[in-house]
A and B are shown apart, each in its own frame.
Chain A
């Protein structure tokens, strides 16, 4: 079970819109090393973790990644507020906008939608840990 806290982990207050930047940054939401994949990776792997400490840290990191996802989505949302048709077209954001307008959709910068194929959950602690280090080495 999760409880929601009505705040970001760190404040996001973007003054100037930049749809071209949004199109790149969104990869940290739905791309192969994005926060959505990170959350699902840890929260899926925790069930078969062999040690209480490993269960705890997979649980808590997976939860924190959801908070990271919320910050990334906030950045994309704020970068794409109040766009004019000309800004949408000239920035190259038009290829996203045509399908999603300014809705948040988990996608890589290259345009590939989010897929669970980007992570593994093997039931083997060593294999999972190796995968975690490859995906998110700075966290573990």
Chain B
């Protein structure tokens, strides 16, 4: 696993936790431990996204930070993470 994959994996891991927490909170909106879990992983997610995007470009169209070139279009797209030729 290269550095890009490692940093992206961290984003994916925290994002997964947030999505699951949100589904729980949808039906338990006043659950204190659920809210605390959500807050914890949201902060970790933000840090992970910041580190990934500062090195490898935007994960959303709101976070493109280059003034001279639109980074969003750059490969790889999510379905083509694996770059080597495989048989």
Interchain nearest-CB distance for B26 vs A (Å):
4
Q: Interface readout for B1-32 with A: 1 if CB under 8 Å, 0 if not?
A: 00001001101100110010011001101000
Interface of A is mostly: loop
Interface of B is mostly: helix
Residue of B72, B79, B86 touching A15 (CB-CB under 8 A) = B86
- Residue contact A74 to B78, C-beta cutoff 8 Å: yes
Taken together as a complex, chains A and B put the C-alpha atoms of A14 and B86 apart, in Å, by: 8
- Residue contact A7 to B87, C-beta cutoff 8 Å: no
- Residue contact A56 to B81, C-beta cutoff 8 Å: no
Taken together as a complex, chains A and B put the C-alpha atoms of A60 and B11 apart, in Å, by: 19
Which residues of B are found within 8 Å of A8, using beta-carbon distances? Answer: 12, 78-79, 81
- Residue contact A6 to B81, C-beta cutoff 8 Å: no
Taken together as a complex, chains A and B put the C-alpha atoms of A64 and B82 apart, in Å, by: 23
> Which partner residue on chain A sits nearest B5 by CB separation?
A11
Residue of A11, A16, A57, A73 touching B8 (CB-CB under 8 A) = A11
Which residues of A are found within 8 Å of B66, using beta-carbon distances? Answer: none
Interchain nearest-CB distance for A35 vs B (Å):
14
Give chain A's interface residues, CB within 8 Å of chain B.
3-17, 53, 56-57, 60-61, 64, 70, 73-74, 77-78, 81-82
Give chain B's interface residues, CB within 8 Å of chain A.
5, 8-9, 11-12, 15-16, 19, 22-23, 26-27, 29, 58-62, 72, 77-82, 85-87
